[in-house]
Amino acid sequence: MTILVEQALAELTPPQASASCWNEGSLFVLAGPGSGKTRVLTTRIAKLLSDSPDKSFRVLALTFTNKAADEMSARVSVLVPDQERRALIGTFHSFCMQMLQQHGSHIGIRPDFAIYSLDADRQELLRDALKQAGLGYGDIKLLNIIDKLKSRLISPEESANSFRDKEAGSRIANSYRAYENALLRANALDFGSLISAAHSLISNNPGIATTYRRTYKYWLFDEFQDTNDGQYRLIRALAGDSFKNIFAVADDDQIIYQWNGASYQQIQRFRADFAPQEIQLPTNYRCPPSIVMAANRLVIHNSQRTETKLPLEAGKKNLRYPDGTHISLLRFSSDTAEAAAVARGIKSIDKSLWSEVVVLARTRAMLERIQQALSTAGVPAAIAQRRDDFRSPEFLWLSAVLRQTLRPLDTRALEALIGAFNRWWGTELQVGDIIAAAEVSNRSYLDEWAAAVPPQIDAAGLKLAELTAKYGKEPSRFRHFIDAVIQDLPTGDESLVDLAEDRNAWNDLNRNISRAIGRDAPLEQFLQELSIRSKEPPPVKSMVALMTIHAAKGKEFDHVFLAGMAESILPSFHSVKLGENSPEMEEERRNCFVAITRAKEWLCLSYADTYGNWGKMPSRFLTEMGFELPQTYSD
Ligand SMILES: Nc1ncnc2c1ncn2[C@@H]1O[C@H](COP(=O)(O)OP(=O)(O)OP(=O)(O)O)[C@@H](O)[C@H]1O
């Protein structure tokens, strides 16, 4: 073992260390919030690799967000710099993407497949597919239904039987089939089909699963509670009947993706299928004791959890604030008063600490109201949210040109390219004209577009057209093209907010993609990685973050404001309607549990008597956590 790994192990507590030193066989680590799951996982990966420097086996570690995977990989590369290449650390989707790049041809998927990550593109594909198949397009929710079916690995052929209404079932099955055929014709996959295609590949080619088991001797899963049915069945199919070296870390009190198929059942299935040993990590090193106590009181009201689960223990030392001051509960007369007070509260915190402050709420609408109040108070704040695409015409154009370079006949990429360029340079080029001209001249769409850029536009715009014509025929030199474009983009103009954000996002993406696939990877792989990653810029210092609870999962902040602690908000209207004993109410309770356990130093809970002029009762979770409700307003 190297000194760095020894040091990392020495920093762990005995239960954390015994999880990290786990060797063969399956282990289930049931760990509460702030219990050091990330440290345990990264130390275990590093230890497995550093203990076997002359071995060739690899380690597979999957988590749910690219950000978490990037952080884990960065940490592993510090601990075992010369062994890092033996670890595949990624998301379920990136792992399946790599599997399909290598073996997809067995099921008719070429390795340069496109990934449709934008709903707008998928809707368009669906609409075209239905038109071609002579099917009507009436149901706006059709894509959602298809996604749900795919997440349960239900094929178009099997799907009709999933509906009680036979006529609706057969209509949906036909539409689903048309959509899948259209994806196949375009050699494209959407997020759902990354998992379902990987599952079908493994199921139909058991030899591939055997190769994976031989190559990847140890598998680790972070946030295992978030796996849905399809993902679990993929793991099951990959493991076969004999593979047991699975190390799953989970918290059944942090399942907040029930709507996406995550469920306590997946944990139970894992226990039944792999008979793992279990280790619990109940000590919370993140939150002050009063928050830990509130979290314990809250979550015992749920029944869908491990019966023998130990309550959280407070393990944090060095608290910044004195005992009895770590939680505030405030009541307001209206949502407007609540938003204004949150903004005032944040303004009173030293500016240098704003990047350590977060405002959490159950809904985006509430965050928007508070963002408005913060802006009125002169506090810069941004709502953190996954971005499926860039926002500036510059980066929209760049990524569309890259797609067009790889797929010269892709009309969707051409539309995006022309739309972005027109917006950027004020030109009025038309997609139809370029396609028509290309049909006559036999030149590529890219060449035709570059030739059509009017000579009277700014010299910088013409230079882009020239660069495009030059590099468009050479996908292998795409890195040169990117560098040439980016170095000429304007900098320092504060009015170009989208461009500045996209540039930051691009730098981050470029670094992380290069780390994941190397700088020499071909354009198709670069674009696949780009498609599955969020284009959200990294957080800016001195800015307050606003997040939905879902977006805050896995994160921690010094100061947490949790607004909207009212019935029909948290818990949601839907769960209140379904009642106290519904799974939906349990999920809402877990949402509240996740939210409060993000706080490292201080938690401010608030509610108002009215939201949008509707009277609301204080959230039942406040009483469950043991708080006395304030009799007066803090307006
Ligand atoms: N043994 C330890 N001693 C002191 N601090 C620790 C220890 N282990 C973890 N921590 C700290 O506790 C905090 C939580 O750790 P981490 O982010 O790994 O939690 P987590 O288990 O992934 O939580 P969550 O489920 O909420 O995402 C971090 O600030 C980390 O540095």
In order, the DSSP letters of 328-362 are EEEEESSHHHHHHHHHHHHHTS-GGGGGGEEEEES
The 3-state DSSP class for residue 296 equals helix
Residues in Cβ contact with 474 at an 8 Å cutoff, skipping those fewer than 6 apart: none
> Residue 55 corresponds to which tokens in the numbers above?
């071995």
- The answer, yes or no, to whether any atom of ligand 1 lies below 6 A from the CB of 534, is no
Q: Cα of 502 to ligand 1 centre, how many Å?
A: 31
Distance 161 CA to ligand 1 centre (A): 46
d(CA 35, CA 502) in angstroms, rounded, equals 34
For the chain, give percent helix, strand, coil, nearest 5: 55, 15, 30
CB of 32 closer than 6 angstroms to any ligand 1 atom: no
Of the residues 285, 319, 556, which should be mutated to test ligand 1's pocket, given the most ligand atoms within 8 Å of the CB?
Answer: 285
CA of 39 to the centre of ligand 1 (A): 7
- Among 196, 217, 215, 219, smallest CA distance to 207 is for 215
Report residue 224 CA to chain centroid gap: 14
282 lines ligand 1 (CB under 6 A): no
Query: What is the number of the ligand 1 atom nearest to the C-alpha of 281?
Result: 21
Say if CB 235 and CB 260 are below 8 A apart.
no
Cβ atoms of 235 and 246 within 8 Å: the answer is yes
Atom 30 of ligand 1: nearest residue by CA position: 36
Q: Ligand 1 pocket, 31 CB below 6 A?
A: yes
CA dist., res. 215 & res. 302, Å (int): 41
- For the record, the structure tokens of 26 come out as 């399956």
Q: Is the CB of 12 under 6 A from ligand 1?
A: yes
How far is the C-alpha of 280 from the C-alpha of 275, rounded, in Å? 16
- Give the distance (Å) from ligand 1 centre to CA of residue 370: 29
Task: Return the axis-axis angle of helices 393-406 and 523-532, rounded to nearest 10°.
Answer: 140
Contact partners, residue 608, CB within 8 Å, separation at least 6: 331, 332, 333, 334, 335, 337, 338, 564, 566, 616
Q: What is the mean pLDDT of each run of 10 residues along the chain (635 residues)?
A: 94 97 96 96 97 96 93 95 94 97 96 94 92 78 93 94 89 94 94 97 97 97 95 97 96 92 92 97 98 98 96 96 95 97 96 94 94 96 94 97 95 96 96 96 96 93 94 93 93 84 95 91 96 93 93 96 98 97 97 98 98 96 97 94
Ligand 1 neighbour 13 (Cβ under 6 A): yes
Nearest residue CA, atom 23 of ligand 1? 34
Whole-number Å distance, alpha carbon 501 to ligand 1 midpoint, is 30
- Check: CB of residue 2 under 8 Å from CB of residue 80: yes
Distance of alpha carbon 39 from alpha carbon 13, whole angstroms: 11
From the annotation, which residues make up the binding site? 31-38
Our answer on whether the CB atom of 554 is closer than 6 Å to any ligand 1 atom is: yes
Distance 299 CA to ligand 1 centre (A): 20
ipTM over 0.90: yes
> Best substitution site from 20, 286, 598, 603 to test ligand 1's pocket, by max atoms within 8 Å of Cβ?
286
Q: Which residue's CA lies nearest to atom 2 of ligand 1?
A: 12
Please give the helix or strand (H or E) that residue 188 lies within, else none: strand 188-190
**40 CA distance to ligand 1 centroid (A)?**
9
- 571 preceded by a cis bond (ω within 30 of 0): yes
How distant is the alpha carbon of residue 274 from its chain centre? Answer: 27
Taking Cα atoms as reference points, which of 284, 351, 270, 173 lies closest to residue 599? 284
Question: In a 10 Å sphere around its CB, with 0-12 CB exposed, 13-18 middle and 19+ buried, how is residue 385 labelled?
Answer: middle
Beta carbon of 261 within 6 Å of any ligand 1 atom: no
DSSP states along 432-472: HHHHHHHHHH---HHHHHHHHS-TTS-HHHHHHHHHHHHHT
Instruction: Name residues whose C-beta falls within 8 Å of residue 313's C-beta, 6 or more positions apart in sequence.
Output: 282, 283, 284, 292
Q: Which residues pair with 599 in a beta bridge?
A: 557
Binding positions for ATP are: 31-38
Residues recorded for the chain: 635
Round to whole Å and give the CA distance between 305 and 298. 13
Q: How far is the CA of 572 from the centre of ligand 1 (A)?
A: 29
Q: Cα separation of 188 and 185, whole Å?
A: 8
Q: Judge whether 363 and 518 are in contact, CB under 8 Å.
A: no
Phi–psi pair at 69, nearest 5 degrees: -65, -40
**Contacts of range 41-44, beta carbons closer than 8 Å, 24 or more positions apart:** 41/72, 41/220, 41/222, 41/249, 42/8, 42/72, 42/75, 42/76, 42/79, 43/5, 43/8, 43/9, 43/12, 43/16, 43/79, 44/19, 44/20, 44/220, 44/247
Pairwise CA distance, residues 60 & 280, whole Å: 22
The span from the CA of 36 to the CA of 312, in Å, is: 13
Structure tokens at 596: 């409060």
What pLDDT does residue 138 have?
65
36 CB within 6 A, ligand 1: yes
The single residue listed with the structure tokens 């049931």 is: 30
CA-nearest residue for atom 31, ligand 1, is 36
pLDDT of residue 139: 66
The vertex-446 CA angle with 108 and 487, nearest 5°, equals 105
Residue 285 CB less than 6 A away from ligand 1:
yes
The Cα angle at residue 280 between residues 275 and 286, in degrees rounded to 5: 145
CA gap 220, 47 in Å, rounded: 13
**How far apart (Å, rounded) are the C-alpha atoms in residues 562 and 495?**
32
